[in-house]
Amino acid sequence: MLHKAKISINSFRMLSSKPGPIGIFDSGYGGLTILHGIRQLLPQYDYLYLGDNARAPYGPRSFDVVYEFTRQAVHKLFEMGCHLIILGCNTASAKALRTIQQHDLPQWDPERRVLGIIRPTAEVIGDLTKSRHVGVLATEGTIKSESYNLEIQKLHPDITVTGVACPFWVPLVEYNEADSPGADYFVKKRIDEIMHKDPQIDALILGCTHYPILMPKIKKYLPAGVHVISQGQYVAKSLADYLARHQKIEQRCSKGATARYLTTENPAKFKESAQIFLNEAVEVDNITIG
Q: Which is catalytic among the residues 82, 89, 166, 253?
A: 89
Q: How many residues does the chain have?
A: 290
Q: Which of 82, 166, 208, 253 is catalytic?
A: 208
82 carries an active-site annotation? no
Q: What is the per-residue DSSP string for the chain?
A: -PPPP---TTTTTTS--S-BPEEEEESSSTHHHHHHHHHHH-TTS-EEEEE-GGG---TTS-HHHHHHHHHHHHHHHHHTT-SEEEE--HHHHHHTHHHIIIIIHHHH-TT-EEE-SHHHHHHHHTTT-SSSEEEEEE-HHHHHHTHHHHHHHHH-TT-EEEEEE-TTHHHHHHTT-TTSHHHHHHHHHHHHHHHHH-TT--EEEE-STTGGGGHHHHHHHSPTTPEEE-HHHHHHHHHHHHHHH-HHHHTTB--S--EEEEESS-HHHHHHHHHHHHSS---EEE----
As a whole number of angstroms, the distance between CA 90 and CA 75 comes to 19
The reply to whether 208 belongs to the active site is yes
- Positions marked catalytic: 89, 208
